[in-house]
Amino acid sequence: MPSAKIAPSLLSGDFANLANECQRMLKDGADYLHMDVMDGHFVPNLTIGAPVIKSLRKHTDAFLDCHLMVAEPERWVDDFAAAGTNLFMFHYEATKHHEALIERIRNHGMKAGIAIKPKTPVDAILSLAGQVDMVLVMTVEPGFGGQKFMVDCLSKVRALRQAYPDLDIEVDGGLDLTNIDEAAEAGANVIVAGTSIFKADKPAEVIATFRNTINAASA
């Protein structure tokens, strides 16, 4: 299993102070910065877009893991590539042109990722998973932070890990110190967490615990 990568979700940060929040997370040990992009159509919330990513890129050279919870993700490849996105994560459910979109993302110099909602079966993406750099298994319904972790979704992580031992498998939604062991055991190695990191008294300790737990499970 690949090594642990911890990606704090800036959705839980202070949007009025986003550049400093990014620097704070990196100082606390974050590997990636997870950017939740919502369009008010694919999900009922509205957050940030490519202009914010472009502005942040001026303040950090960190790996920007952009999770696009948007309809028609094809429309946004050019803008997010130009903004400085490192990984363009689109939802399986948002397009019918998966392979073409993966190729287009790669041609724009970004890593490609594919995400699935809790109700989407893992079989839907098993063949596609070998074509991307990362698969994201949502452990809450996409669209809002602070939801309860859905442990049943970890069966998808197990299936993906069995099929692709070297794949980066990300989990996002409700991750905290009470369930990180289960996520690690299932085979997740990229951990997205918002509330449990940003609201912690000592975020660096939470990030370190997440990393140590994942790496111990893969040893």
Specify the pLDDT at position 1. 85
145 is annotated as contributing to ligand binding = yes
Specify the pLDDT at position 38. 94
**pLDDT of 175 strictly over 70:** yes
144 is annotated as contributing to ligand binding = yes
Between CA 38 and CA 59 the distance in angstroms is 22
- Average pLDDT along the chain: 96
Domains by residue range for the chain, with CATH = 5-218 (3.20.20.70)
Specify the pLDDT at position 85. 98
Residues with Cβ within 8 Å of residue 48, at least 6 apart in sequence: 15, 35, 36, 37
> Which tokens go with 87?
């990984």
Using CA atoms, how far residue 169 sits from 41, 88, 126, 165, 166, in Å, is: 26, 14, 12, 10, 9
Q: Mean pLDDT across the stretch 1-7?
A: 95
Q: What is the dihedral sign for C-alpha 51, 56, 57, 58?
A: positive
Predicted confidence (pLDDT) per residue in 37-75, tens digit: 999 889 988 899 999 999 999 999 999 999 999 999 999
109 is annotated as contributing to ligand binding = no
Between CA 67 and CA 24 the distance in angstroms is 20
Task: Name beta bridge partners: 198.
Answer: none
Between CA 70 and CA 28 the distance in angstroms is 30
Specify the pLDDT at position 39. 93
Tell me if 112 sits within 8 A of 157, measured CB to CB: no
Tell me which residues are annotated as active site. 36, 172
3-state secondary structure (DSSP) of residue 160: helix
Dihedral pair phi/psi, residue 144, rounded to 5°: -145, 150
9 is annotated as contributing to ligand binding = yes
User: DSSP secondary-structure letter at 147?
Assistant: P
Percent of the chain surpassing pLDDT 70: 99
Between CA 124 and CA 131 the distance in angstroms is 14
Predicted confidence (pLDDT) per residue in 190-204, tens digit: 999 999 999 999 999
Specify the pLDDT at position 147. 75
201 is annotated as contributing to ligand binding = no
Instruction: Give residue 22's identity as a one-letter amino acid code.
Output: C
**pLDDT of 169 strictly over 70:** yes
146 is annotated as contributing to ligand binding = yes
Predicted confidence (pLDDT) per residue in 69-106, tens digit: 999 999 999 999 999 999 999 999 999 999 999 999 99
- What beta strand segments (E) does 96-201 contain? 111-116, 134-138, 168-172, 190-193
**pLDDT of 142 strictly over 80:** yes
Quickly tell me which residue has 């946004």 as its tokens.
76
Predicted confidence (pLDDT) per residue in 118-133, tens digit: 999 999 999 999 999 9
Specify the pLDDT at position 107. 98
**pLDDT of 145 strictly over 70:** no
Specify the pLDDT at position 185. 97
